[in-house]
Amino acid sequence: MTVRTRIAPSPTGDPHVGTAYVALFNMAFAHSQGGQFLLRIEDTDQARSTPESERAILDALHWLGLDWDEGPDNGGDKGPYRQSERSEIYREHADQLLESGRAFRCFCSSERLDELRATQMADKQQLGYDGHCLHLDKEEVAARLSKGEPHVVRMQVPREGQCTFDDMLRGEISIDWAQIDLQVLLKEDGMPTYHLANVVDDHLMEISHVIRGEEWINSAPKHILLYQYFGWQRPVFCHLPLLRNTDKSKLSKRKNPTSILYYQRMGYLPEALLNYLGRMGWSMPDEREKFSLKEMLEVFDIQRVSLGGPVFDVEKLSWLNGMWIRDELSDEQLADRLQEWALNRDTLMAFLPFARQRMETFSDLASLGNYLVSGMLPISADDLKSAGMEEDQLIEVLQFALWRLESLQQWNRDNIFNALKAIADAMGIKLKPFLAPLFIAIAGSSASISVMDSMDLLGADMSRARLRHAIELLGGVGKKKLKKMEKAYQAIS
C-alpha cells in the first residue's frame, strides 16, 4: 500500500499555525513511509470561503518550506483539489446513499429545528435532530420534491450501541452512537457538508492515513459509517493533540497570535517557526531543540508524538528564533533576510507618500516610520489613557474596533475607515476622539500618519495584534465583562 496523507484546510480566515503544524506532521509521516502528501482545499462553506484566504494559506505554507506532491496549485491526477469544483461528485454519492436507504431527505424548516433545539436545551436533553422525517413514505417524499420543497439530505445513524475504532496514537476509542447526530450530508443549496465531502474525497484521492487535530475525534464515527455505507475500506485515523495557550486552553487568537502572517510580519524565520512546530508533542531522538525540516524528516517516527497538549509559547519560539539567527545566518545572509522581510524599497515606497509631508531631514524617517518595522510597541497604559478617554470607554473603543476589524474580509484603507466610522457613529463618539487611542495603540503616538493608512501599511495581523496588546496593557477584559461587552457590541452592530 502506498501511504498517502493530506492537509485539508478550509479557506475561511488567516493561515493558522495549527494548519501548518498538522501539515508538517502529515508531510513528515508520508515522507517516513516513502509515501505522498497532498493538499486539498475544503471550501464547501461558500459564504465563508474566500480566494484570498486560500491564496494566503498556500503562500504561508510554502513560505514555511512545506510542499505537497499534489494540490490545487501544482495539480495531480486525483484532482480537482478544490471541493467547490467537485459538487457533482458529492451529489452522485448522496444519491447512492438515498437509493440504498442509508440517507433520507429532511424537509424540516429552520423554525422547527430552532424550536426543537430550544426544547432540548430547556429539558437538558442531548441536542440533535429527532428523526422527524426519517420515515416519510416514498409518495409523500416524491410529492414534496415535485413541489420543489426545500430540503436537506441526512445520514442514517444507529441509535444504539457504540462505534469503536482504532486511532494510531490513542489506541481504541469508543463513542456511543446515541451521541452522533443524524448528520446533514447535502445542504439545501445542494452543496455537501464537510463530512460527506471529506470522506468521498479521502477515498477518491486514495488517502491511507487521516492525520488531523483531535477536535475531529467526535466526527470519526460519522466518517466510519460513511465508509461502511459506501463499502469502502477506511483509512487509518490519527488524531494529533491540539496546540494550547500557556494556560493550557485551546490555542486561540484572544490569547496568542495564531496567524502565520503575524509571525512573518514580526520577523520570525520560517525555519525557526517550523522547527518550533516540530517540537509540539514531538522530539528528536537525541532531544536536541534546534533542528531543520530536513533533519526532522530523516528521523521522523510518528510514534514519538506524545499526547499531552503541547503548549505554543511565543517566548520559547522567540528564544529559538534567536538561536537560528545567531547560529545559522552569516551577516550577509542576515542582511538578505532583513531585506526580504521589510527593510526594502517596497516598504519605503509604501510609506514615503505619507512620510514626505512630515519630513524636514532624512533622519526624521526613523522616528516617523519606526512603528512600521517594530513588533509590539513600547507603550504603557498611561500612554493610552493620555488620549483623554475614561478607562471603561477606552477599553470598549479598542475592543469594538478590534471585533469590527476582525470581521473585515478585505483589508484596505477604505474598508478600515468605513468599519471604524460605523463603530464610532454607533457609539455616539466623534471620529477624532474615537481614533485618538487607536493612533497610540497602532503607531505609538498621535503624531503619526492617519491611523487608517498605518493599519493598511501594517496589515491586518499586526494591526489586530497591537489592538489586543493595548487592551492587555489596560488590564484586559475578564470573562464577565467580555459577555457584557459582547451584548453591547451586538446591539450596535
Give residues in contact with ligand GLU (CB under 6 A). 8-10, 42, 194, 198, 212, 216
Q: Is 36 helix (H, G, I), strand (E, B) or coil?
A: strand
| Residue of 78, 253, 290, 385 marked active site | 253
Closest CA to 369 of 348, 398, 341, 338: 348
* Region label for 459, one of left (φ > 0), alpha (ψ between -120 and 50) or beta (otherwise): left
Tell me which residue has its CB nearest to ligand GLU: 212
C-alpha cell at 29: 509521516
Number of Cα atoms under 13 Å in the Cβ half of residue 67: 7
- Report the nearest approach of ligand GLU to the CB of residue 467 (Å): 26
- Which residues lie below 8 Å from residue 196, measured CB to CB, with a gap of 6+? 90, 93, 94, 185, 186, 226
In this structure, are residues 32 and 5 in contact, taking their beta carbons and an 8 Å threshold? no
Separation of alpha carbons 422 and 434, rounded Å: 11
Q: In the bound complex, what is the minimum distance in angstroms from residue 151's beta carbon to ligand GLU?
A: 25
- 76 touches 201 (CB < 8 A): no
End-to-end CA distance of the chain, in Å? 54
324 grid coordinates: 537560528
Q: How far apart are CA 278 and CA 27, in angstroms?
A: 11
Nearer Cβ to ligand GLU (38/442): 38
CB 157 within 8 A of CB 228: no
> How would DSSP label each residue in 43-85?
---TTT--HHHHHHHHHHHHHHT---SBBTTTB-TT---BGGG
Cis check for the bond before 80: say yes or no (omega within 30 of 0).
Answer: yes
Distance (Å, rounded) from C-alpha 69 to C-alpha 40?
Answer: 11
Q: Is there a catalytic annotation at residue 253?
A: yes
- E strands within 90-170? 103-106, 152-155, 162-167
CB of 91 to ligand GLU, least distance (A): 19
Nearer to ligand GLU, 31 or 209 (CB): 209
Burial class (CB in 10 A: 0-12, 13-18, 19+), 161: exposed
Residues annotated as catalytic are 253
